[in-house]
Chains A and B, each alone.
Chain A
Amino acid sequence: MIKMEKVSKWFGQHQVLNDIDLSLNKGEVVVICGPSGSGKSTLIRTINRLESIQGGRIEVDGEDVYAGHMNVNSLRQKIGFVFQQFNLFPHMTVLDNVMFGLVNIQKRSKKESMERARSLLDRVGLLEKINAYPGALSGGQQQRVAIARALAQQPPVMLFDEPTSALDPEMVGEVLQVMKELAKEGMTMVCVTHEMGFAREVADRVVFMDAGQIQEIADPETFFTSPQHPRAQRFLSDVHIR
């Protein structure tokens, strides 16, 4: 479903991604972790071309993401993206946020869009908030709306960039719950997160990044109990202490 081959990226002189190789089959869940600044965000942002790459190749659903003829807007409709800061549209109600892509991008009817948006909001447990504005919601609720919005156009792939890092601790659980359900329903997911419980429960593989490189890929059990890479060992002990 996603295939990255020798992907490299520079910001000016600074190499942020160095020969990244990573593949996901349909329905797989991969968790990416690693210290701050190691290139995790940049990596998943290259998958939907929020960042460009200077070397290598990325395929999503069999299509070359960086092919000259590739229409970036139709590519992105197939890749849901969830941000650390939610990025809901503050001038739209919850319902309008979730309907945005259906109505404006996919040009579906109001009625159909509304029905799908409602069922998604039901799924993330926010049906009673459909007419609220984002400003009136807690962080956890906003992130669940953001997930519903990302799911609205029924993308076969979902990318999450630290979806719980900006949340108060008591709200992390509700967002992870939604993500776990999604994973168990067979969604193909790449999640940048340090939530070990989540990784253990639903991840097929854990990727450890450092300094723009993938240092280790392992199944969650192996990774958390006996990480091979010394930097992964140090990273894990740091995360656990916190």
Chain B
Amino acid sequence: MLEIVREYWPMLLVGQYPNGPLGGLALTLIVAVLGLAFSLPLSLLIALARVSPVKWLSFVTAQFVRVIRGIPLLMLIFWAYFVVPKLIGSSVSGFTTLVCALVVYQAAYLAEVIRAGIEAIPSGQIEASRSMGSSYMLTMRKVILPQALLNVLPSMTNQFVSTIKETSLGYVISVNELTFSANQVNNLVLTQPLQVFGVLAVVYFIVCFSLSRSLRWLDMRIRRSRAMA
């Protein structure tokens, strides 16, 4: 395995770059980070709409979440790959397709996580804020969300980790992310698929594990500093 790493690490790390397009782990991370960066605010908006007293808003978003959660991500990616270009009338790169599908998919899941966090805040917190004269939005922004988001950080971490893993589905629409690169390496090596994909697994594991560990550390640190742990 080490030989594979030694020989092919540039390809696993950055794909064809600088002689070709950026790929490999670098692209995986870029897709994941973009996916998170867009899905997080989107999921927050969906969660707010879900708990909003405006009936139609919460109904519409509930249906959206239900539909997205009811279909496989792979299907969503295919769908985006073939339908989106038809809809907007021009072709879209695999990269964009993948990021969009991930954002929509993750936003639906994250929104549920955040909604659960919001609904779990004790009503006394809301009453304390409202009884001082806070508006609904002020209470949401300063009292509920800061607590809810911290409380669901472990579940959000799970979603972040699964986003990273799900970038590998980009393979099916030829986005040259890490899995795609590993497959290219495998085609070059030919005789050692077990080792090549072993390396691939290890790399995914290291990335996911470091992310979940750092978020857990952050969570503990905040809780300790607030005398909550």
Binding site for B on A (CB under 8 A): 48, 50, 73-77, 79, 81, 83, 85, 87-91, 100-101, 104-105, 132-136, 146, 149-150, 153
Interface size on B, residues (CB 8 A): 22
Between-chain CB contacts (< 8 Å), 16 pairs: A48-B131, A50-B131, A73-B134, A76-B131, A77-B132, A77-B133, A83-B127, A83-B128, A87-B127, A89-B129, A100-B129, A100-B142, A105-B133, A105-B134, A105-B138, A133-B228
B225 nearest CB neighbor, chain A only:
A133
Q: When chains A and B are docked, how far (Å) is the Cα of A81 from the Cα of B135? A: 16
Check if B143 sits within 8 Å of A89, measured CB to CB: yes
Q: When chains A and B are docked, how far (Å) is the Cα of A87 from the Cα of B138? A: 17
Interface of B is mostly: helix
Contact (A135, B133) CB under 8 Å given A87-B128, A105-B138 = no
Residues of chain A with a CB closer than 8 A to B130's CB:
50, 76
Residue of A73, A83, A91, A149 with highest tally of chain B CB at under 10 A: A91
- The list of the 6 closest CB pairs from A to B, nearest first, reads A135-B227, A87-B128, A136-B227, A77-B133, A76-B133, A81-B131
B118 CB to closest chain A CB (Å) equals 14
Check if B128 sits within 8 Å of A153, measured CB to CB: no
Contact (A76, B132) CB under 8 Å given A89-B125, A91-B146, A105-B138 = yes
Q: Residue-by-residue, is B101-143 near A (CB-CB < 8 Å gives 1, otherwise 0)? A: 0000000000000000000001011011111111100100011
Report if B159 contacts A (CB, 8 A). Answer: no
Residues of chain A with a CB closer than 8 A to B129's CB:
89, 100
Binding site for A on B (CB under 8 A): 122, 124-125, 127-135, 138, 142-143, 146-147, 150, 225-228
Check if A153 sits within 8 Å of B132, measured CB to CB: yes
B133 in complex: contacting residue of A73, A87, A90, A136, CB < 8 Å: A73
Q: When chains A and B are docked, how far (Å) is the Cα of A18 from the Cα of B150? A: 43
Check if B135 sits within 8 Å of A85, measured CB to CB: no
Check if B146 sits within 8 Å of A101, measured CB to CB: no
Contact (A90, B142) CB under 8 Å given A74-B133, A76-B130, A153-B132 = no
Check if A133 sits within 8 Å of B227, measured CB to CB: yes
B132 in complex: contacting residue of A85, A132, A150, CB < 8 Å: A150
Check if A153 sits within 8 Å of B133, measured CB to CB: yes
A235 CB to closest chain B CB (Å) equals 27
Q: When chains A and B are docked, how far (Å) is the Cα of A134 from the Cα of B226? A: 8
B104 CB to closest chain A CB (Å) equals 31
Q: When chains A and B are docked, how far (Å) is the Cα of A162 from the Cα of B3? A: 72
A60 CB to closest chain B CB (Å) equals 13
Query: Can you add 4 more A-B contacts, CB < 8 Å, to A76-B131, A76-B132, A87-B122?
Result: A48-B131, A83-B124, A105-B138, A153-B133
Check if A88 sits within 8 Å of B128, measured CB to CB: yes
A170 CB to closest chain B CB (Å) equals 21
Check if A91 sits within 8 Å of B147, measured CB to CB: yes
Q: When chains A and B are docked, how far (Å) is the Cα of A101 from the Cα of B133? A: 8
Q: When chains A and B are docked, how far (Å) is the Cα of A90 from the Cα of B124? A: 12
B3 CB to closest chain A CB (Å) equals 51
Check if B147 sits within 8 Å of A90, measured CB to CB: yes
Residue of A87, A132, A133 with highest tally of chain B CB at under 10 A: A87
Contact (A90, B132) CB under 8 Å given A50-B127, A104-B142 = no
Residues of chain B with a CB closer than 8 A to A136's CB:
227
Residues of chain B with a CB closer than 8 A to A101's CB:
132-134
Contact (A105, B143) CB under 8 Å given A87-B127, A133-B228 = no
Residues of chain B with a CB closer than 8 A to A150's CB:
132
Q: When chains A and B are docked, how far (Å) is the Cα of A146 from the Cα of B132? A: 11
B133 CB to closest chain A CB (Å) equals 4
A110 CB to closest chain B CB (Å) equals 15
Check if A135 sits within 8 Å of B228, measured CB to CB: yes
Q: When chains A and B are docked, how far (Å) is the Cα of A104 from the Cα of B142? A: 9
B20 CB to closest chain A CB (Å) equals 48
Check if A105 sits within 8 Å of B128, measured CB to CB: no
Q: When chains A and B are docked, how far (Å) is the Cα of A60 from the Cα of B66? A: 46
